[in-house]
Amino acid sequence: MKFKTIIFTGLAGIALSACTSAPKIQQLETGVLQEVQNLEVYPDTANNKAKLTKFPGKCVIEFTGNLEAGKSIEQWAFKGLTLISGGSATFAKDGTSTANNFDLNAPEVQKNFLALRNHFHEDALAQCN
């Protein structure tokens, strides 16, 4: 009987320590929820990163990647599962830049947004509802 008690106590201690050492995503009113780096994206970029930030009434994913010809920055605003706005700016090495807004109804735009959003943890994304 003592052996069963010792085993049970040991297992309970392990279970408690596993629950308390799990990473936690902070609940924020505004601010950066999560940042991820070195994503596999098309077109291929070097040293890329994406940051999920919560603002009042929406969240924004900002993606930054270095292309062979310069630097590209995309911003995607959304609430829950609804994409609100999206666009990009490209800064060429020769000093020129271009910017454009995405057609939110285009299937390829929706696909790119979902692929990028899927790089973030579900607990962080849950704060964007």
> pLDDT of 19-36, one tens digit each?
444 445 556 678 999 999
Q: Where are the domains of the chain?
A: 28-126
**Would you say residue 59 has pLDDT above 50?**
yes
Residue among 70, 64, 76 at smallest CA distance from 104: 76
> pLDDT of 81-106, one tens digit each?
899 999 999 999 999 999 999 999 99
- The pTM is what? 0.74
**Would you say residue 10 has pLDDT above 50?**
no
Question: So what's the pLDDT on residue 121?
Answer: 96
List the Cα angle 64/30/76 in 5-degree steps.
35
